[in-house]
Each structure stands twice: as structure tokens, then as C-alpha cells.
Structure 1
Amino acid sequence: MTAPAHARTSADLIRAEEPVLAHNYHPLPVVVARAEGAWVEDVEGRRYLDMLAGYSALNFGHRHPALIQAAHDQLDRLTLTSRAFHNDRLAEFAERLAALTGLDMVLPMNTGAEAVESGIKVARKWAYDVKGVPEGQATIVVAADNFHGRTTTIVSFSTDESARAGFGPFTPGFRIVPYNDLAALEEAVDETTAAVLIEPIQGEAGVIIPDAGYLTGVRELTRREGCLFIADEIQSGLGRTGRTLAVEHESVVPDVLLLGKALGGGIVPVSAVVARREVMGVLGPGEHGSTFGGNPLAAAVGTAVIELLETGEFQRRADELGLVLREGLQALEGHGVTGFRARGLWAGVDVDPALGTGREISERLMREGILVKDTHGSTIRLAPPLTVTADEVRSALGTLEKVLGQAG
């Protein structure tokens, strides 16, 4: 008989996964059983400071009281109707999300990849119905080293071969240009271009922040050439960079905004495409949908997330604590850190390859009670919950200094 999970060790549980769970992830060997705020606890009772926050899905920390209360209250009333009927939570969610983002209409979905796929469909439909692109000829320009998800269509325009190998044939209709290169972007845009789809900050690539003026240039170019600007803020949005949206650092408003991860408060998967009315208005009944998209539980939690963001508290925290993070990383340059990129509470940290790969550094930090995740090579990401304290950030950086010193 299989022992109950609470009676099994981390090693037992990791071994139990091996024969039955698809091997599409390579997680760190820690088995989390409980969590609160910026801290998690494994099945043996060891505590870890979470400096990853579910790739920004946990911007408000684990089990934020207001979000848990919203979920509990809704669970006692209604969880799912599907969009076959109206529900009493969806209108408020959509109204407040549109107001928060400065756009007009909301298409509620579930996962980030669903939001990206939905944004692509909306852009193509707009290109045919409004711009007048001949049917079947719409193109979308994307950036190299992007990460927008892992569906077949999305990996069709990835430049990460590990995401593509073995999954073809691929979906046509995409043009890839270098990130942060306005001249290359302008050359790729033509009369068939429906949209330019980019991350304002490339997260999976290592928190790559474009030059000042790049996002403004994308906005000006797309407006001038008569195509849409789609900003994928699934990781960068909702407070992470010290603003509600990363595009706000350049006062840019895209035509289409893709949101996810933190929108579900770390409780349920919630995503959304938010757009100008004349763009989203191209969709008619039956042309797109989702059984769970806009469900009452998701709408209740999403509304509670928006309420937290409306105060500005979390944006301010990310901005202020981001200075603590940046100062700490600057002190580590030349001491195992060869470079870093940071905005708000989000950083990509390049470690001297002689000291280990990103995976090895992550494992050493785990053994010291700090959870991070590598990206490529010897780069690790730091993205703690926005509820983290300055002392906790400093402690994590002190542990990183210790680990790098030991590796040297």
C-alpha cells in the first residue's frame, strides 16, 4: 500500500513521480508541502525563501489573506457556469481590469499560452476584417529569444531548439527579428503584418531589458505602419517591475495586452487578452471560447488581485525593494557575478561559468534555504514575491555571496 503523502519523505515522493509523471520538467529536488508569504516548507519541515514566486504567478506571495478569502467566499457560492450563461462576477472583473490597464475590452482565458494564442487569433481576424489583408496571408513579427508559451503554434516562432525539436510541422505566418532592434523590426513589417508581438522584458531569456526608447519606437512604428502592438506582460506585468505594467516605464499603451500568471493570485489559472474596442470587437459569438475562461471563481480571485493593485502598494514595494536588490547585486559584481539586469523585483544574474552552471548554483542555493531557478548557461533568475522584506532580499543575496565564495 502506498504511504500517504504526508508520511513520505522528499526522496520517497520524488522517486514516486518518476514512473508515472511525464518528464517535461527538471525541478529542483525540493518537495513543497506548505507555504505562506515569501516562505515555503518541505515535507520534512525545512523552510526556504522563495525567490522565484512561480515565475511571477505568486507576485502577492503564497496564500495572501485577501485572495484566499475571496476564493473561500466564492467557493461557497458558485465555481463554474461556463460561458453558456452569464455569472455575477465576470462584469466587475472585466470592468476593473480594463480600467487598470487603460484599455477597453477583456477576453478572459485561463493560462498564459491561451492568452497568447487568443491574441494571435484576434490580431489575424483584425488584419482580415479591418486592415484588409488577403485571407490566409496575415503575418506577425516576433523577437528572437522570445518565450510566449509551449503550444504548437507558439513554439513555431521560438528560437529555442529544445522547445521545437520533434514537434513540427510548424505553424506559418511569423517573422523573427532580433530583440531590441528597431531597424530590423521596421524592415520586417509590411502590408501583410497584423501585429508585432513582443515581451517588454524577455524573462526566460534572462530578464533582458531593451534599450530606453525601444518600446516607444515599437509603438510609433506599429502605429505608422498600420499594425497592432501586442505586449506580452504575462511575466512582466501586474507589479513585478515597479509599475502595473512594464510598458509604463516608457508611457506606452499597446493595442493588445496579454496577462496571466499573477492575475490568478497563485490560486487559480487566470489569463486575459485586453485590447482596444476596435480590435477586440472583431470577435463574434462562436468564433473563440473557453469552458473555464471567465469562470466565477477565477473572476472573484482576479478581481481581488486587481483590488490589491489599485492601491499602488505592490508597485511601490517592487520599485523600492528593487533598489535593494540592485545594490546587492552591484556589490557582488567581480565576486562571482559577471553581470546582471534588473527592473523592480526581477533580475537575471550572470554567474562566472567557472563557478558552476545556473542549475548547479540553484541547487547550492536550495541547500542553503533559497529557491531560485536557472535560465540558460550560468544565469539565474531572482523574482521574489512582492511581499518580501528588504531584510529577506539582503539575506538571499548574502547567501548567494556565500555560495559563490564556496564555489570559488
Structure 2
Amino acid sequence: MLSATPLASAQRSDYTIRTGTSEETTVYVREADADGPTVMVVGGMHGDEANGYTAAQKIANWRIDAGKLVVLPEANVKAIQIDSRTCNGTDLNRQFPTGSEPTTALAREIWNVVVSENIDFLFDLHSSYGIYSSDDGGVGQGIFSTRAGDATGHRKQLVSYLNENYVSDSTYDYSGYSSSDGSSPMLKHKVGADLDTGAIIFEATRKNGRPLSQQVRETTAAVQEFLQRFGLIHETVSYSQDVIAANTAEDTNAKQSGLRFDIANTFGQDVRITDLEIDPHNSAIDQLRDHSYGEGQWVSELFIDADVQNGVTDINNGVSLPCSIDLDWDGHSTDASNDAILSPGSFGTVSLYEFKSNGSPVDMVGENVEITIDYTLSDGASGSRTFMLLL
């Protein structure tokens, strides 16, 4: 599973709506040189749903290769400021009746953006206190689509993508349905009914104290996957879905306590891997520490075999997990610290060694580890990719 926050390289033409009022907010527009569809992403319709506006803020800076990306991260600034679903008793996402003008000034200006940008698809990002597939009354982990614009097909693909490649606990599986366009005065419904255009409401859950970072990662993963399928994003750093747990020659036990997986550079320029964040799903896995003074694969905590420049970080006494490793500085010396550099179209092999719990090696078969890779490109743009290693 993948998510991303790459900085935009496309042309920018940002503007504000409700300018000069307490509802003033910014619309971020990225337009690539290559032709393609226009996708709009909205967050912050409900001010107490931090996932929506936080994910949209990240997406506003994404790099696109074709078409146009229009992002309104903070649709309801006043509600966000007071951390409330509504503002002055008004639910912004109930002000978009089908076949008639939106009922508030803010809703009308948002609708003007939708119409003037001539969008081909809309994502409205939210979160919920519960889970749609349960009986708790919530709609989290729900993807709800219009019937217009083949949104139903996109919804099904995203449900499968997230559940198969991102969600490690079936309690948090995604589901959803296609509603009748125009059956509710929501933005999504009006887009489907009045414009015959595809739209999705995406709801992550905050149930059980689920971290905001996890909600945002799943939300951005879904939008990223859609933009790739829809043709706006072509180039990326990808995970090859090939992780293995390794019992290395350095081990004196039968534990498969190392991990190895490949990443690919599909950008048309060099990629420098600068940081790698490691977050095991099992909180008992609390350390990454090799047992050698050597440097390289299986004798360093982190080693990346890359064609332009290998990456390595060898940390004295290991590192506590979860952690973020700066490949260029290990906190002790620069002798065994080096960013990895991959040329266009090349693969790099990442090796992590060795995972421990309370000082003892852990057999990583059956464990899940979330990885975030930060990178910079030759043209100065930067970004990150997040994915789950499912063993």
C-alpha cells in the first residue's frame, strides 16, 4: 500500500474564496504540462474531523504528471478553528441541494469552484467516530460513491486496494456503497446529480483512539492510488510487494529476524533516499540492532543496495522502535552514514537487521511493519511514500 506527499512540480495557480471574510480559505491548483483529467479534493467540511483537512493539506502539495489537481483543504475554516462539526448550527455538507443553488454563501462559492474548474472527479475527505460495517452507528472505514462517472468501479477498486495492501487488522477493513445521486443535500450528491460526475466521500475512523497519522496515511493512500489509476500521477517511488523475513548468516539462531524488500524509482531522474521510518504493528518489537561492527547488508541496521550510491546507517547500540533513521547521519558518526541514490528506472534492495523484543531476536514471519521512505529528486522536489510490509 502506498501513500505520498511529494512536492508539486506542476504549475501553481492558487486563489482564495470568501475573500475578506471570516470564511476566507485557499484553493490550491496544480496543473501539469501534459493534458489529463481534473480531480478536486475537499477537506475540512466538518471542522472536528481532522483527518479530512490534514490529509487534504498534504495532497495540496503533491506532484502530478498530467491534468489538474484542485484542492480545498480547509473548506470550513471557522468550524475548524472551533473544532466543531458545524458553525453557528450550520452543517456545511448539508447545504448543496440538487437542482438548485446552494443555501449559504460559503457553499455557493465552493460550488462555483467545482463548476468553474470543470472537474472530472471529486473526493470529499472526512472521519467518523465509528466503523460503517459494525453496528456502532458510525461511517468510518467507509467509501461512499455516486453512481455517476464510474465512481462505483473506483470505489470497489479502492476498497480492495486498501484491505489487501494496507489494513492489517480486519476490524478496520473498508467497505461502502453507491448511493442514489441527489438523495441528500451533500456536495458529493450534488456533483453526481447535477453534473453527472463521479464523486466519493472517504471516511476514515477515529474509533478506539486510532491515531490521526494512521487515518491520514490510509486516506492519502486511497487518493494516491486513485490519481495513479485516473492518470494524474505517472512517476513515483514504489514498493515491489516482495518482502521476505531473512535468517542471515550472521544469526546464531533460527530466527528470521531481518527483513529485505525492493523499491523502484519510476521517476525520470535520480532519487535520493534520505530517511526511513520503521513502525512495527506489534509494539513488543522494540529495537533494531545488529550484532556486528561491520558495515553493509545484514551487518548494519539499515542497508540499501542501489545502483548510483548504496545507502547505509550503522548505529552504535541500535535504535528503539518505532523510529525514523536519517541515512546521512546516524547520531554517532558519519563514517557509516550514506544516502541511497537510485537512477531512473532502477531498483534498490532495502535490508533491515535485526528486529528484537526486550533484547532477543524476533522471528518476523507473520509480523507487519509500516515503512515510510523520504526522498529528494534531482530537480529539488521531495516527497515520501508509506506502505505496509505484510509478512
User: Given the two structures, how large is their TM-score scaled by the length of structure 1?
Assistant: 0.29
Higher relative contact order (CA closer than 8 Å, sequence separation 6+): 1
> Higher helix share goes to which structure?
1
